[in-house]
Amino acid sequence: MRILNFILQKHSNYLGNIPSGSAGYPGQLPRSGNLKSLISRSPPCQDPRYSYSEHRVKYADIDQKWVVYHSEPMHERQEKTFNTNLEKDFEKTRKSLKKLSTYEFVCEPDARTAAEKWVKKHPRYQFKEISVVAVKHKDRKGPGRPKSDEPVTVVYTLDAEIEFNPEFIQQETQKWGRFVLATNDIDLPPDNLLEYYKGQGAVERGFRFLKDKSFRAAEVFLKKNSRIQALAMIMVLCLFIYSMVEFQLRRALERTGKTVISQTKKQTQRPTLKWIFFLFRRVREYSVLVDRRRISKIANLTDDLRRILGLLGPPYEKYYF
């Protein structure tokens, strides 16, 4: 069995941050600005919603294959979210600029330097109009305008309007729907790489089972590495058994065309084993004396539960019948 190492780079600017030609970095991997034209020439995956572009690299002295994918559903979702958040961000940025306009500077160069720093922190925007306004303050306190011969202090404030920076907005839109998957299995096809990555969700749901307190497993605190490893092995073994029983039940339901009731009171052929455990929660074993003989019986074993046991087979039925 091949051991695959996958790396998902969730940051959309990942490719743009790689210094081309640097030691240890793949110089031939395209920067984010070129992704749009690159993906448009890329072949589609078996799933027509995806297209890809392959790149062979050597990173940390390990031969790897990096695949840039473009997802149409992700593209549409990010486009919708981007347009919704763009208006909110514009209003938020205008408030930030309004706050900057309240600051007073001792000279005009200081005011313009502050404006340059502000726009660098907000690269999505550029100044539509900007001017430095001189404001006079009288030195003495009290009401009224200063007299012509009265000493005053001159300060400078910013008066500016902003608009979207079209170049930066275009760079953001080029990243829509794109993500990178990497593997050290050079011969792994891009379709399989994408399939394996999507399958990680099932693994994560399995480990969520191990941490679920609803199973009422006592918390164990260990320090020795050997004991931690032993406990992890037992937990993974439990997860393996849990997954196999769940798979066996679902396959039996599909094969026979039968269903069980779900949490939403609907019939399903894909129940979770956790739900099946819940259905069996009221099943109890008790003993009765008949002619001085102790006989064990099972209570609350309904027809639906008997049918589930029948689907699982004799090894499970023998514990109840």
Same domain, 307 and 224: yes
Same domain? For 186 and 123 the reply is no
Domain span at residue 45 reads 7-75+172-196
Say if residue 321 is in the same domain as residue 205.
yes
Strand order in the sheet with 50-59: 7-9, 178-183, 62-71, 50-59
Q: Digits of tens for pLDDT over the chain (321 positions)?
A: 333 344 433 333 444 444 333 333 333 344 444 555 455 556 888 888 998 988 888 888 888 888 889 899 999 999 988 988 998 999 999 999 999 999 999 999 999 999 999 999 999 999 999 999 998 877 666 666 666 667 778 899 999 999 999 999 988 888 888 888 888 888 999 999 998 888 887 777 777 777 777 655 666 788 899 998 898 888 888 888 888 999 999 999 999 999 999 988 899 999 988 899 999 999 998 888 888 888 888 899 999 999 999 999 999 988 887
Question: pLDDT at position 231, please?
Answer: 83
Burial of 91 (C-beta count, 10 Å sphere; 0-12/13-18/19+)? exposed
At 288 the three-state DSSP class reads strand
pLDDT at 312: 93
315 lies in the same domain as 213? yes
Place of tokens 């320090």: 223
3-class DSSP state of 21: coil
Residue type at 120? Answer: K
157 and 251 inside one domain: no
- Number of structural domains (the chain) is 3
Are 231 and 310 in the same domain?
yes
Same domain, 225 and 267: yes
Claim to verify: residue 214 and residue 155 sit in the same structural domain:
no
| pLDDT of the residue at 16 | 41
